[in-house]
A and B are shown apart, each in its own frame.
Chain A
Amino acid sequence: MTAESTLTAAPAPGAAQAPPPLDRTPPTAGRKRRPAWDEVPRWQIYLPLGIYLVFTLVPFYWILLFAVRPAGSTSLLPWPMTTDHFEKVWTERSFGVFFQNSLLIGVAVLVMTTVVALAGGYALARFDFRIKKGFMLALLCSQFVPGALLLVPLFQIFAELRMINSLGSVIIAETVFQLPLSMILISGFIRNVPYSLEEAAWVDGCNRFSAFRIVVLPLLRPGLVAVGSFAFVHAWNHFLFALMFLSSQSKQTIPVGLNTLMGADSVDLGALAAGGVIAAVPVVIVFAFIQKWLVTGFSAGAVKG
C-alpha cells in the first residue's frame, strides 16, 4: 500500500469532514421532528449568543475602562483616555521585565512539553510494553495531584540543585506538570494516523525517525498546536511555582507581578487593570491565531483512542 492510497482511504486527523446530511424525513406520529438549522428563526440563535457575549465582554470592557481612564474618573466611557497606567506598570512596576520572563518561560515550556510529549506519546501509541496500561493510569492519576501538594518537595529539590530563583526551576516544574496530559493527548493523535502510512515510508527507505518526521509529524500539526498552545497558556498564567521558586524582581513573572499590585490595604485599580490587559493580550492573540487549529486538534484527538 502506498502512502497516497492510505491517505485516500483514511482521512488525516483534522481534515475537514463533510457535515452529515440533514434529516428531512417527515415527523412520525408521536415523535417531534427537531427543526433543521436553517428553519430556526435567527433571533433564537443570536439573542442567546448576544446575551452570552454581553456577560463575557462586560468584564473585559470594565478592565479596559479602568486601564485607560484617568485615576479618580467615574466615567463609564473610556474618555478622556490616558496611557498613564500602562506606562506606570510597564516601567515603574517592572512589567516589561515580567513580560519577558513570562514569555521566556511560556515558550520554553511550550517547546519542551511538545518535544517530550511527542516522544512519549509516540511510544504510547506505537509500542506495546509490559507496564503500558499501568503507565497510562499513572499519567492520568498524576493529574489529580495539585501542584501545591508538591511545593515543598519541589522547593527542596530545586534548592539542592541551587536552582531556586532561576527561571529554569519554573520551566522544569511547569513542563513536568504539563507532560502527562500532553502525552495522553499526543498519543491519541498519533493513534489516529494509520500505522500503514509509516510502513509505506519504511518501504520507501525511511527509518522510523525519518518516517515519523516526514509522514506522521505533518499530520499531527493540529494536535501539536493544541498541546503547545495549552502548554504556553498554562505556563503564562500559572502563579504558584513562579511565586515560590522565584524571588528577585528581575526574575518574576506577570501573574506574580499582578498580585503585587494589590497591597495589604490599598489597591491602584488603574494599574491593576492595565496589568491585567498586558497579561491578557498575548493569550488573546495566541487564541485568535490558533483558534481554528485548536478546535480541529482537540476534536481529532477525541474521535477515537
Chain B
Amino acid sequence: MTIFPGGRRRAAVALALSGVLALTATACGDDGSGAGGDKGTEGSGKGKITFWDNNGGVRTDVWKEIIADFEKANPDIDVEYVGVASKEVQSKYDTAIQGGALPDVGGVGAAMLAGIAAQDALEPLDARVEDSALKGKLNTGMVDSVKAAGGQDKLFTVPTSASNGVLYYRTDLFKAAGLAEPTTWSAFYAAAEKLTARDKNRFGYTIRGGAGSIAQALDAMYGQSGITDFWNGDKTTVNDPKNVAALEKYAGLFKRTTPAADVNNDFTKMVAQWDSGEIGMLNHNLGSYQDHVKALGTEKFRGIPNPTLDDGTRVQVSNPVDGLGLFSTSKNKAAAWKFIEFAASHESNSKWNKSAGAIPANTEAAKDAWLQEAEPTKLAADVLFSGKAAIVQLPYYLPDWNTISKADNEAGFQKVLLGKATAKEFLDALAEQLNAAQAEWKQQKK
C-alpha cells in the first residue's frame, strides 16, 4: 500500500491550508479609531480620520464627492468613508461604543442622538461652532431641535438637514376623478373614498402598517386633532380623546380605501406599490421624492405638505434632524472637526441636500436656486420656517424613544388596523410607556 500517494495533491492541500491560515493570521487590521473609554485627543489636525455615514449606500456618491472636495482643500487629511445601512447604524454604533472602535465623525440622526449621547460617546460642539465659520449660519430651529434631542441641552451634532411629512398624490387620478387637491383632512378622506375601486385594484390611499408606522400615525393624529403639545405636564397627550378619535378615523381607512397587504407595509413596500400601482395618495417624507420621479416622472404626481384642518390650522409632528457628530474617542478631533465644518458649509450642505431632496441646515444653502425648483422640498421648507405651522416636538431626547416608537408598539398598531384592538387601548398602552420613560428620564436628570 502506498502511504502517501499523490504528492502533488498533498502539496496543493498543504499550500491551500497554509494560505488560509496565513490569511487569517495576517489579515489583521485596525480602522484607526478610538478605543472604548478612551477620551481621545485633539491630534495634529492632519492624517487619517474615519467617517461613518448613517445612510450608507443611497448617499454614498454625494458623500464621496464632498470628501474629494474636502481632501482637495485639506491635502493633509485623508477621510475614510464607511457607509452603514440606516437600519443597522444604531446597533453598529452601540457595538462600537461597547467594544471600543468608534469612528472620528459619524452621521447621527436626532432619533438616536439621546441614546448615543447618554453613553458619553459624543463631544459637545457648542464651543466649536461658536468659534467657527458656521457661527450664525445654521438654522436655529434645527439647532434647537438637535439640542433638545440630545437630552442634555448641549449641541452633540451639527445639524445638516431636515425632512418633513409629505402627502404625495397622483394628479392624473385626481384629475380623472374631478377631485381638488387634498389640502385638508376632509378633502383627504373624501378623495380616499372616491378613488377606491377595489374590483379594479384601485385604492385611494396606502397606509403604513409595518416598520415605521408609529411616526406616521402620530403625524396623522396630531394633524387632525389640532393638539400642539406632546406633553401636558408630565403626561403625554397621545391618548387624548381627540387623538383617539383621529386615530380611529385614520385606521378606519385600512382595507376600506387601502390594500389589505398594507398591514405589513414598511416604507419600501409602501413606496414600491404606490409607484407601480394605481393608488391615489401616499404619506411619506421628502426622502422618497426621487423614487417617485423615477417611477412616475414629474407630471403624474405632486408632493404637498400634510393636510390642514378645515380652518387652515396646520399641526404636524417634528421630523428627526440629521447631523454630524464628533466622537469623543477620536484621536484626531481637530481634523475631524475640520471635516464637519466643511460638510456643513454652504457649498457642501447645498450639494448634499440637493442630492437627498432634503431641507438644508445651512441658511445660505437654503437660499440656493435648486431649492426653489424642487417643489416638495420648497413647500416643506416653507411650512417649517413660515411660523404658520404648529410643530409637535416628539420626545427624541428619551433614550427609549426609538424602541417605544418602533419595535415595542408597531405590532400594537397592526392590531388596531386589523380590528383586534381599539385605538384607545393602543394609545393608552403607548401613553403608559411614554409616561414611564419620561419619568425615568427626569429622574436621571436630577
A interface vs B, CB < 8 Å?
71-72, 74, 92-93, 104, 107-108, 111-112, 115, 151-152, 155-156, 159, 161-168, 171-172, 201, 204-207, 210, 214, 243-244, 247-249, 251, 256-257, 259-269
- With a cutoff of 8 Å between Cβ atoms, the chain A residues found around residue B272 in the complex are 267, 269
**B368 an interface residue at 8 Å Cβ cutoff?**
no
**B426 an interface residue at 8 Å Cβ cutoff?**
no
Inter-subunit contact B288/A265 (CB<8 Å): yes
Q: Which of B21, B103, B267 makes the CB contact (< 8 A) with A265?
A: B267
CA distance A257 to B222 in the complex (A): 38
- With a cutoff of 8 Å between Cβ atoms, the chain B residues found around residue A205 in the complex are 1, 3
Inter-subunit contact A262/B57 (CB<8 Å): yes
**B420 an interface residue at 8 Å Cβ cutoff?**
no
**B100 an interface residue at 8 Å Cβ cutoff?**
yes
Inter-subunit contact B291/A267 (CB<8 Å): yes
Q: Which of B31, B57, B267 makes the CB contact (< 8 A) with A248?
A: B31
Ordered by A's residue number, 25 sampled pairs between the chains whose C-beta atoms are within 8 Å are A71-B294, A71-B295, A107-B20, A108-B20, A108-B24, A111-B20, A152-B99, A159-B99, A159-B101, A164-B101, A171-B23, A214-B2, A214-B3, A244-B92, A247-B101, A256-B85, A259-B87, A261-B57, A262-B85, A263-B59, A263-B287, A264-B287, A266-B291, A267-B268, A267-B291
Inter-subunit contact A247/B23 (CB<8 Å): no
Inter-subunit contact B23/A111 (CB<8 Å): no
Q: Which of A104, A214, A244, A263 makes the CB contact (< 8 A) with B57?
A: A263
CA distance A248 to B51 in the complex (A): 10
Nearest first, the 10 A-B pairs at minimum CB distance are A265-B287, A260-B57, A263-B58, A155-B99, A168-B27, A264-B86, A166-B29, A259-B85, A165-B31, A204-B1
CA distance A108 to B90 in the complex (A): 30
Q: A168-B23, A204-B1 are in contact. List 19 more A-B contacts (CB 8 A).
A: A112-B20, A112-B24, A155-B98, A162-B29, A164-B31, A164-B99, A164-B101, A165-B31, A207-B3, A210-B3, A244-B92, A247-B82, A247-B103, A251-B29, A259-B87, A262-B57, A263-B57, A267-B271, A269-B268
Q: How far is the CB of B210 from chain A (nearest CB, A)?
A: 13
Looking at A92, A93, A257, A266, the one whose CB has the most chain B CB atoms below 10 A away is A266
**B4 an interface residue at 8 Å Cβ cutoff?**
yes
- With a cutoff of 8 Å between Cβ atoms, the chain A residues found around residue B96 in the complex are 155
Inter-subunit contact A155/B95 (CB<8 Å): yes
CA distance A257 to B21 in the complex (A): 26
Inter-subunit contact B85/A72 (CB<8 Å): no
Q: How far is the CB of A144 from chain B (nearest CB, A)?
A: 22
- With a cutoff of 8 Å between Cβ atoms, the chain A residues found around residue B99 in the complex are 152, 155-156, 159, 164
CA distance A248 to B31 in the complex (A): 8
B interface vs A, CB < 8 Å?
1-5, 16-17, 20-21, 23-31, 35-36, 50, 52, 54-61, 80-88, 91-92, 95-96, 98-101, 103, 109, 163, 267-268, 271-272, 276, 284-288, 290-291, 294-297
CA distance A198 to B31 in the complex (A): 50
Inter-subunit contact A206/B288 (CB<8 Å): no
Looking at B20, B267, B286, the one whose CB has the most chain A CB atoms below 10 A away is B20
Inter-subunit contact B295/A247 (CB<8 Å): no
Inter-subunit contact A156/B85 (CB<8 Å): no
Q: How many A-B residue pairs have CB under 8 A?
A: 157
CA distance A260 to B80 in the complex (A): 17
CA distance A210 to B207 in the complex (A): 67
Inter-subunit contact A262/B28 (CB<8 Å): no
CA distance A163 to B35 in the complex (A): 13
Inter-subunit contact A201/B58 (CB<8 Å): no
With CB as the reference atom, state the residue of chain B lying closest to A151: B95
- With a cutoff of 8 Å between Cβ atoms, the chain A residues found around residue B17 in the complex are 111, 115
Q: How far is the CB of A257 from chain B (nearest CB, A)?
A: 8
With CB as the reference atom, state the residue of chain A lying closest to B297: A72
Inter-subunit contact A263/B55 (CB<8 Å): yes
- With A166-B29, A262-B85, A263-B55: A159-B163 Cβ-Cβ less than 8 Å: no
With CB as the reference atom, state the residue of chain B lying closest to A244: B95
- With A171-B23, A206-B1, A244-B92: A262-B87 Cβ-Cβ less than 8 Å: yes
- With a cutoff of 8 Å between Cβ atoms, the chain A residues found around residue B20 in the complex are 107-108, 111-112, 171
CA distance A76 to B292 in the complex (A): 19
CA distance A248 to B33 in the complex (A): 12
CA distance A265 to B271 in the complex (A): 9
CA distance A157 to B284 in the complex (A): 42
- With a cutoff of 8 Å between Cβ atoms, the chain A residues found around residue B82 in the complex are 247-249
- With A155-B98, A163-B29, A164-B30: A265-B285 Cβ-Cβ less than 8 Å: yes
Q: How far is the CB of A48 from chain B (nearest CB, A)?
A: 26
CA distance A243 to B94 in the complex (A): 13
Q: How far is the CB of A182 from chain B (nearest CB, A)?
A: 16
Inter-subunit contact B163/A265 (CB<8 Å): yes
- With a cutoff of 8 Å between Cβ atoms, the chain A residues found around residue B92 in the complex are 243-244
- With a cutoff of 8 Å between Cβ atoms, the chain B residues found around residue A71 in the complex are 294-295
- With a cutoff of 8 Å between Cβ atoms, the chain A residues found around residue B297 in the complex are 72
Inter-subunit contact B287/A266 (CB<8 Å): yes
Inter-subunit contact A167/B5 (CB<8 Å): no
Q: How far is the CB of B303 from chain A (nearest CB, A)?
A: 13
With CB as the reference atom, state the residue of chain A lying closest to B290: A266
CA distance A231 to B61 in the complex (A): 35
Q: Which of B3, B88, B98, B271 makes the CB contact (< 8 A) with A243?
A: B88
- With a cutoff of 8 Å between Cβ atoms, the chain B residues found around residue A264 in the complex are 54-55, 58, 86-87, 109, 287
CA distance A301 to B301 in the complex (A): 60
Q: Which of B27, B59, B80, B95 makes the CB contact (< 8 A) with A167?
A: B27
- With a cutoff of 8 Å between Cβ atoms, the chain B residues found around residue A249 in the complex are 81-83
Inter-subunit contact A168/B267 (CB<8 Å): no
CA distance A108 to B26 in the complex (A): 13
CA distance A176 to B288 in the complex (A): 41
CA distance A199 to B334 in the complex (A): 71
CA distance A265 to B54 in the complex (A): 12
- With a cutoff of 8 Å between Cβ atoms, the chain B residues found around residue A263 in the complex are 55, 57-59, 86, 287
CA distance A267 to B269 in the complex (A): 10
Q: How far is the CB of A148 from chain B (nearest CB, A)?
A: 9
- With a cutoff of 8 Å between Cβ atoms, the chain B residues found around residue A162 in the complex are 28-30
- With a cutoff of 8 Å between Cβ atoms, the chain B residues found around residue A204 in the complex are 1
Inter-subunit contact A260/B95 (CB<8 Å): no
CA distance A205 to B2 in the complex (A): 9
Inter-subunit contact A74/B29 (CB<8 Å): no
